Structure 1
């Protein structure tokens, strides 16, 4: 038997018609700035690099990709932890988050994911340094598992807040962050392969980067449309800056990789330019999402429009 839908709950104050309380924001903007945005970008890139190195193990007989991924993961974990400690203002706050694991807290899970990923990458890096190849190969598995979390957990962290721009696209943000991480990770590994003269491996990594950047471009377009549908109204300059970040992080690299395929004579130069654009654009886009999200929290009407039911009635859940 079909369930009867619950009746709408009457709103004695009537539907929202654009009123605000002296234009005071009803939610607080986050304190996150370029430090968190840079950590998110670097962490996602390093995490995806560890995953790709594990997936390409059969094509990496000498372990060059594995070594590069371990070193990249170890360095990024150290830099990321330093950025987070500086952002938290006091170092003991980071240590306090390791005292308890809260599965329902994205911040708690993120701290444990970063710590586990950093530990596995550090073990792998030391093993590579001292020639312990078996230990280095074994460290790939936990590093790749932690890398999967590093690639997307920050999307859950942002979308779990009440910030209008982030809350308007919770599912699509995961796709955006994951695809950006994979494209940047593949680009970073491709740069190393080109430097070692492994052009065939670099070409395969470029294909992964191209596919991931294309997926990210589609996800970004969907996300922008959903923010408009949810009632987030951004100024024209803010729209232009967001589109510029998307262009640098996704559209420009896609065009560069596509041009490299069509122009084999300039493939190496175009690949290097596209890879550098992906890595730099990945960080720029994450910082732009942080900045525009905070700006949306300062606009009361964005918050009220997002909370308003689309059909004008609030239903019990």
Structure 2
């Protein structure tokens, strides 16, 4: 016999229909900041590998891509601040308990290495013959290796930054977002190399893209299955559509990286990986925003944690 309820099932609503959490005031620039920072980090690691293995064409486009990415990332971050002209105040202190403070210092450590390596590639021939040009050329390899060494922090700290907020879709995903973001960074860095480097030198870029795409898609699927109720924010509405398109482009780009040897296929696959990586960041951003608008994403996980602690005491 079907159970008869004495009262209707509870609906998760807040007083007067108000949200429990405020929706993040960040706009699309933060999602773009997440993507361009990851692209820069992935490109820096690929550039260092290309430098060590004697692939000048791939090294050049990756070094320039690394600098362009970090400059774009800084622009989007600073432009979204309430008082952009006070960005330098973030460097007045180092606070290990603050992901934003740690991230600011990681970017500050990473940026000069990326910049010196890229400037070495962009110098005109007449400048290379000067004392300054020769000095920059000598510093290019150690600067590029330094950028590659700090790049994993650039690729992953933004995931920590999001997951340390109260936003349910980000906070509950904290074990998985770093893998999603670092995989996405590798896929985008490889995609840029595939798109712009000479075809004969794209082998490392293709391999990096395939590994990054595999990590990104796998981590995203595992995250969706394991974070409980807040996963609905990723599997419904606009975030879901963005994730579906991102996954299709990322998997398609990875397949093209494996099978394609022609220039057109390699370039199209690289572009697909770049767009797929960008859409992944926008999907995560939009899922977080959506999860603040429904009280159940706050209330249900809280009750589950309380019940779990009570069961543990018994």
| Alignment TM-score, normalising by the size of structure 1 | 0.83
Structure with the bigger percentage of helix: 2
Task: Give the number of aligned pairs.
Answer: 291
- 1:188 corresponds in structure 2 to 192
Show structure 1 runs of 5+ residues with no match.
1-15
Check the 8 A contact 1:159/1:167 in 2, yes or no: yes
Check the 8 A contact 1:32/1:290 in 2, yes or no: no
- 1:237 corresponds in structure 2 to 237
Bigger relative contact order, structure 1 or 2 (CA pairs below 8 A, ≥6 apart): 1
- 1:276 corresponds in structure 2 to 271
- 1:56 corresponds in structure 2 to 50
Instruction: Say whether 1:207 aligns with 2:200.
Output: no
Q: CA RMSD in A?
A: 2.5
Instruction: Say whether 1:254 aligns with 2:258.
Output: no
Check the 8 A contact 2:225/2:231 in 1, yes or no: no
Show structure 2 runs of 5+ residues with no match.
1-8, 129-133
Aligned-residue offset at 1:238: 3.6
Relative distance call for 1:313 and 1:217 in structure 2 (3 A) is closer
Aligned-residue offset at 1:24: 2.4
Aligned-residue offset at 1:248: 4.2
**Equivalents in 1 of 2:59, 2:256: separation in Å?**
26
- 1:299 corresponds in structure 2 to 294
- 2:169 corresponds in structure 1 to 165
Check the 8 A contact 1:42/1:76 in 2, yes or no: yes
For 1:1-317, what aligned pairs fall within 5 Å after superposition? 18-22=11-15, 23-60=17-54, 63-128=56-121, 129=123, 130-131=127-128, 132=134, 133-194=137-198, 198-199=199-200, 201-227=201-227, 229-234=228-233, 236-238=236-238, 240-260=240-260, 267-309=262-304, 312-315=307-310
Once the two structures are superposed, what CA deviation does each residue of 1:40-74 show, in whole Å capped at 9, x if it has no partner?
A: 1111111111112223333226x443333332222
| Alignment TM-score, normalising by the size of structure 2 | 0.84
Once the two structures are superposed, what CA deviation does each residue of 1:196-240 show, in whole Å capped at 9, x if it has no partner?
A: xx42x213321221122122111111111123x245434743464
Check the 8 A contact 1:42/1:80 in 2, yes or no: yes
Relative distance call for 1:153 and 1:239 in structure 2 (3 A) is closer
